[in-house]
Structure 1
Amino acid sequence: MKFSKILRQLKLALALLAVALTCSLPSLATNPADPSKLVRQAFEAADDGFDMAKTQNFYSGWVSEVINETLLSYDYLARPAKLVPKTVVSMPEISEGGKVFIFKIIPGIYFSSDAAFKGNKRELVAEDYVYSFKRLLDPVNRSPNASFIDGKILGMEELQNKAKKTGKFDYKHPIAGLTAIDKYTLRIELKATDYNFLYVVAYGAFGAVVQEVIEMYGEQSGLHPVGTGPYMIEKYAPRHKIVLIANPAYRGYVWDFKSSGTAWDDQLVKDMKGKNMPQVGRVEISIIEEEQSRWLAFQDQQLDIDKMPQIAAPTVLDGDKLKPSFAAQGIKMDRVTDAGITYTMFNMHDPVIGGYSKEKIALRRAIAMVYNNADEIAQMRLGQAVKAESMIPAGVVGHDKNYRSSVGYDIQLANKLLDHFSYKRGADGYRNLPDGSPLLIKKTIEPVSDRKVQAEILKRGMDQLGVRIEFATGNFADNLKAASACKLSMWGGSWMADFPDGENFMQLLYGPKAGQGNHACYESAAYDALYRNAISLPLGEERNKVYEQMNRQMEADTPWALHSSRIRSWLIRPWIKGYKKHPILHSDWAYIDVEKH
């Protein structure tokens, strides 16, 4: 090993030790969080580190929300979701037909202490957002979140093209569309009006990171996030445990949200109004992938908040209400239908199942047609889901409650489709490819009980279709990485709204994102043209009609088989106050309180 490499590793180890020592020092700052107030929660799958320039992992984003702060966020109680300032004084000044945005950063916001700052306090400034936005578009990072702003910021494309040629992104090079006018003023200019741009800058991937920290920790930055948010990482055991503690540098706020008029909101306001926040000083997150284990942990009071596992529905629910035995424990339930969808993705680069020829489309379509979504809802979800008809779920702008998918459950028609395209059956009853070679489909799943049920549902349909299928298992984080690199033939995915417009879902199949968040690796000139047209239109009926065309194009090519939108029943122990599940935000810890118990 070269001496320079050893020296770098030694410096990194010393830096991490310094941070650990810093975290153990008593806080002299104003964060009102009480270290004795603990919230224990579980994730049903592992994160992928906390560098949001490198991942779209749902659980990574959940934690990053409370570490790296975005310019804007959402009102905790308002429904539908309403944007509010976060690290800025007010909502931005907008001019030139919605192309120019001026954000005024609040002075006196500081990052948590870190060795990268060499003992100095590090203030959040406009230049930090310039760097953070540029980093998402640095070609070397291949960010799955780049498409939200790729090709939109004036002058950025030239800088990206130069980086692709030279292999180095020049972060110091000024561009017209992304500038720090002064220490606290950020100016962003777009090439064309983007009607969702403010939603985009509220998305967690656009939280501020610090160049000094990224340069110091390099590829380890995802294990060592440093931000201005209410929490910081005290302990991180990948795929096992995440412990967050209050960030001593956090400025705090006063809980002053207004009720939307529901009895639930009225109680929250009564419990929380006027409190200095955050109150929770420590959050312990366990990674518990198996539903039964997670449910046992909640029943044993090892978890304070948990999403009711589907297997527990018959035990816990009487219709859509808690059974008396659970209500008697003081447990409350916040029951919502996800602003999200589940689906199976087909890798369009795969030699067996991918491609755009008629026989390949027929194969994917037939597989989609023999999967029984009703069985999924009844057997896998135990009734805790509704069928997804389109890519855009209820609760998201662009959803059409009257839309119906053209790909329905039909075993007989699926068989006729494969017969027509010469997928002939052999002596054993299983089909071969049109050229006569053996046909074998492979799907990757996670080794948890509900995925096994889903595999059984698919296997039943595939047997009736006469197509062999094998299932490989891997954990969620590894599967996500492989899918991002277009290496999985078939995989089950899901997507929750990052902002409340259909673009957030439609971008998942946009061609330039293949290998960078488009896990089906779908590249369709027709779909891409419709996508670009849609985002050029203001929110409204005309845009929604284009979304409908995109849905139909997806069905025609079948890179996805749509499944369901899950119904979530969040169970809350009586000592947790102020809890309400938000459709966009995932981290609730800075909005809630814990009573002594």
Structure 2
Amino acid sequence: MTQPPARRPWTKLAATLQLVCGLMAAAFTGAFSGTAAAQQPVAATAPQKVLRYAFQVAETGFDPAQISDTYSRTITPHIFEAPYQYDPLARPAKVRPLTAAAMPEHSDDYRTWTVKLQPGIYFTDDPAFGGRRRELVAADYVYSFKRFADPAVKSPAWSWMAQFGFVGLEALRERALKNKQPFDYDQPIEGLQALDRYTLRFRMTQPSPRFVTSALTLSDLIGAVAREVVEKYGADIAAHPVGTGPFVLKQWRRSSLIVLERNAAYRDVRYDAEPAADDAEGQALLARLKGRRLPMLDRVEVSIVEENQPRWLSFLQQRADLIELLPPEFVNQALPGGKLAPYLAEQGLQALRSRRSDISLTIFNMDDPIVGGYTPDKVALRRAISLAVDVEAEIRLVLGGQAIPAQSPVPPNTHAYDPGFKSEASDHDPARAMALLDLYGYVDKDGDGWRDLPDGRPLLLEMATQPEQRSRQLDDLWKRYMTAVGLRIDFKPAKWPENLKAARAGKLMMWGVGSMAVAPDSLGIYQRYHGPQSGGQNIARFRLPAMDALYDRMNVMPDGPERQALFDEARKLAVAYMPYKPRVHRIATDLAQPWLIGYKRPLFWQDFWQYLDIDTEVQRQRMKP
């Protein structure tokens, strides 16, 4: 019998996938709005460069002081700008000026930092400016920092901001709270000063050796906001982001579509980077893009596509230019044996894999009467739940092998991450779990087959979850694991932003979240364990004096062996008390269309669209009819 050509099975599979995509396209026409315009050039001589992209979870808004979720914080740094930024290609990470004129000066004790801004940087035009061109000045950063302290803003990041100890800032906040009066933005304070039009000075009550990377590079949070804009739009400020950055918000349909357009008035910023000498990919990107004016894209269209299948099919049908974190169920199909499948390689698709600087965690609300608490029986319950969970199965069955077990909360690519560290956090040992439960009195007292609390009351675990496929898969696994050790568990589905709001208010018992490092320092993850940040970054509301003392010392101590030893102690406490169960560190598999140029997954930061380009000629040639 004549054998078909080796390529034919892949060609047939590709045709089948195209047919499936075509059948589903009608159902998801709205998922990637504006795609017809993206596929057809605006003019023969100047085709639009449009990045089509998808979030898996809906945004919450675009006011830097009022957001904490990754998705909103991916939009804001493309609109607002901090004084400093990370080099897009340098590995390890390297900081360089953005709106600042040079790197900052600091006192010997790291309590005083001085930043000079570049003159001639302007906010995008907005009616709030009364028709005048509005220059960025030092007072704008003073105002932006103060907004976190304003009780009326209700910033979820206030506890993070407070830890820097800006002289006079907390007292200004307390005065507004005590007198029940509006926050006094005009009151000068020593900790946040505009010495002149372009000079900022920060003074803190304690040393802050890593102030640049822990604050001054975060365009998503402390990017400069103009006071006139905030006062004009008031409670609707989240829908009116006005910054100095490379893009402007053009359209927003909540939880559906976000459209950014090139900031036509953006200053002359050129592509430059310092990739390592042995980074062939980075060197090639630099050679291709060096000197190009930013941003290179005309438009970015971000759709919210929660389910994996339509997100993947949209990419296959060329209705998206980049798919980050390829859904696990499609990884083996797209990269069998770790190599790009022939039918995808024939289309010229680019595959990029990297270890994310992240951690997936299960939160235990430490104020909850069932799973919270610090007594041995409560610690035993959380550790038993942890031991009952099979993380390796989650990686295999839900994540498509695209993760490694987490031994502690510390993310990879940060200073205190130790790839050789092993703890019980990743152990799957139902026998030990049941022994712990038995030892501390979590036994079936009423004969219904389920374990009860030591005092005889029913024991029912409640896990917040989301109504999408991956969450349902995880829920099924957790149900199986808890049942195997005699624990009942119910699942409460809601949209992710709703769960976040409830978690911050302390209303959820358990929930699964991810956390991304925003700097090379590992201290950021321990904000989740820092008592004063309860209800903010510390969603578990964990309060342990020993951990707080470690955090406070690590926060002010310069890098070195002594500080590393404190990280080791903090890691032990985190695993022992288990306010969060560390589960996995994700491995990112990203796919890009052949016409997308410049993508390299950032290590810690959220903004990268300004560094991307689209080869419209390659797009025209390869775009399917």
Band of TM-score, shorter chain: over 0.9
Contact 2:357 2:603 (8 Å CA) reproduced? yes
Superposition map of 1:120-139 within 5 A: 120-139=132-151
* 1:189 maps onto 2:203 in alignment: yes
Q: Give the stretch that moved more between structures: 259-268 or 513-522.
A: 259-268
State the partner residue of 1:50. 62
Output the CA distance in 1 between the equivalents of 2:187 and 2:348.
Answer: 58
Cα gap change, 1:142 to 1:530, in 2 (>3 Å): farther
Please show how residues 89-104 of structure 1 align to structure 2 within 5 Å: 89-104=101-116
Deviation at 1:148, TM superposition (A): 3.4
CA deviation profile, 1:132-175 (whole Å, cap 9, x unmatched) = 11111223333222233314212223222222212332111111
Letter in 1 for 2:211: F
Q: CA deviation at 1:409?
A: 1.8
Alignment match, 1:15: none
Residue 442 of structure 1 aligns to a residue whose secondary structure is strand
Post-superposition offset of 1:456:
1.5
Q: Which residue, out of 307, 318, 333, partners 1:301?
A: 318
Q: Does structure 2 retain, via aligned residues, the 8 Å contact 1:70–1:86?
A: yes
Give the 3-state SS of the residue equivalent to 1:73 in structure 2. Answer: strand
| Aligned with 1:248 (options 264, 267, 276) | 264
Looking at structure 1, the residues matched to 192 and 47 of structure 2 have their Cα atoms a distance apart, in angstroms, of 40
Contact 2:78 2:607 (8 Å CA) reproduced: yes
- The amino acid that maps onto 2:210 is N
User: Are the counterparts in 2 of residues 134 and 171 from structure 1 also a CA contact under 8 Å?
Assistant: yes
Residue 413 in 1 paired to residue 413 in 2? no
Deviation string for 1:28-68 (max 9, x for gaps)? xxxxxx78111100001111101121121100000001111
- In structure 1, the residue matched to 2:414 is 396
- Partner amino acid for 2:533? K
Secondary structure, aligned partner of 1:256: coil
For the 8 Å contact 1:144–1:513, the answer to whether it is kept is no
Query: Given the alignment of the two structures, is residue 535 of structure 1 paired with residue 555 of structure 2, yes or no?
Result: yes
1:114-513 superposed matches below 5 A = 114-151=126-163, 152-167=165-180, 168-199=182-213, 200-203=215-218, 204-260=220-276, 261-307=278-324, 308-407=326-425, 408-425=427-444, 426-513=446-533
- Select between 414-423 and 155-164 the one with higher mean Cα deviation: 155-164
Task: Return the letter of the residue paired with 1:263.
Answer: A
From 528, 534, 538, give the equivalent of 1:518: 538
SS at match of 1:144: coil
RMSD, aligned CA = 1.4
Provide structure 2 residue ranges, at least 5 long, that are not aligned to the other structure.
1-45, 620-625
Show CA shifts across 1:503-557 (max 9, x none): 1111122111111221111111121111111112111222122112112112222
The farther-off stretch of 384-393 and 124-133 is: 384-393
Q: Deviation at 1:345?
A: 0.2
Residue 472 of structure 1 and its aligned partner are, at CA, apart by: 1.1
Letter in 1 for 2:175: K
Give the C-alpha shift of residue 98 in structure 1.
2.0
SS of the residue corresponding to residue 140 of structure 1 reads coil
C-alpha separation in 1, matches of 2:71 and 2:49: 23
Distance of aligned partners of 1:432 and 1:218 in 2 relative to their CA distance in 1, 3 Å threshold: same
Q: Which moved more, 1:299-308 or 1:144-153?
A: 144-153
Amino acid at match of 2:572: R
Q: Which SS does the other structure have where 1:333 is aligned?
A: strand
Letter in 2 for 1:198: V
Residues 484 and 515, structure 1, Cα contact 8 Å, conserved in 2: yes
The aligned runs of 1:578-597 (5 Å cut-off) are 578-596=598-616, 597=619
Q: Specify the code of the residue in structure 2 equivalent to 1:232.
A: V
CA distance, structure 2, for counterparts of residue 252 and residue 409 of structure 1: 55
Answer with 36-45 or 408-417: which moved more. Answer: 408-417
CA distance in 2, matches of 1:301, 1:469: 41
- Distance in 1, matches of 2:47 and 2:316, equals 25
Query: Offset at 1:126?
Result: 0.2
Counting only pairs closer than 5 Å after superposition, residues 30-41 of structure 1 correspond to structure 2 as 36-41=48-53
Deviation at 1:264, TM superposition (A): 1.2
Asked whether the 8 Å contact 1:485–1:516 carries over to 2, the reply is no
Segment drifting more, 54-63 vs 548-557: 548-557
One-letter amino acid of the counterpart of residue 423, structure 1: Y
Q: What's the offset of the Cα at 1:562?
A: 0.7
SS class of match (1:344): strand
Alpha-carbon spacing, 1:509–1:251, altered in 2? closer, same or farther (3 Å)? same
Per-residue deviation, residues 449-496 of structure 1 (Å, max 9, x unmatched): 111111122111101111110011111111111111111111001111
Identity %: 39
SS of alignment partner, residue 571 of structure 1: strand
Q: Is the 8 A contact 1:271 1:577 kept in 2?
A: no
Deviation at 1:100, TM superposition (A): 1.6
State the one-letter code of the partner of 1:213. V
Match of 2:30 in 1: none
For residue 80 of structure 1, what is the amino acid of its counterpart?
A: P
Q: Is the 8 A contact 2:100 2:115 kept in 1?
A: yes
The answer for the alignment partner of 1:6 in structure 2 is: none
Amino acid at match of 2:265: A
Deviates more, 1:496-505 or 1:402-411: 402-411
- Alpha-carbon deviations, 1:315-354, whole Å to 9, x = none? 0113333222222211112211110100100111112222
String of CA shifts for 1:104-146, please: whole Å, max 9, x gaps.
1111111111111111111110000000111112233332222
2:357 & 2:305 partners in 1: Cα distance? 23
When structure 1 is superposed on structure 2, of 582-591 and 125-134 the one drifting more is: 582-591
**Residues paired across the two proteins, number:** 564
Q: Which secondary structure state, in structure 2, belongs to the residue aligned with residue 139 of structure 1?
A: coil
Partner of 1:27: none
Please identify runs of 4+ aligned residues in structure 1 that moved more than 6 A: none
Q: Given the two structures, how large is their TM-score scaled by the length of structure 2?
A: 0.88
**Contact 2:359-2:585 at 8 Å conserved across structures:** yes
User: In structure 1, what is the Cα distance between the partners aligned to 2:101 and 2:296?
Assistant: 23
Alpha-carbon distance, 1:99 to partner? 1.9
Is the 8 Å Cα contact of residues 35 and 282 (structure 1) preserved in structure 2? no
- The one-letter code matched in structure 1 to 2:217 is A
Q: Helix, strand or coil: the match of 1:254?
A: coil
- 1:478 and 1:52 map into 2 onto residues whose CA distance is 19
Name the residue aligned to 1:112. Answer: 124
| Aligned partner letter, 1:481 | K
Does structure 1 conserve the Cα–Cα contact (< 8 Å) formed by 2:87 and 2:96? yes
Indicate conservation of the 8 Å contact 1:111/1:227, yes or no: yes
Give the SS at the match of 1:280.
coil
| Candidates 591, 600, 615, aligned match of 1:571 | 591
Could you tell me whether the CA contact under 8 Å between 1:228 and 1:249 is conserved in 2?
no
1:5 paired residue number? none
Is the CA contact (8 Å cut-off) linking 1:35 and 1:280 kept in structure 2?
Answer: no
Aligned residue type for 2:362: T
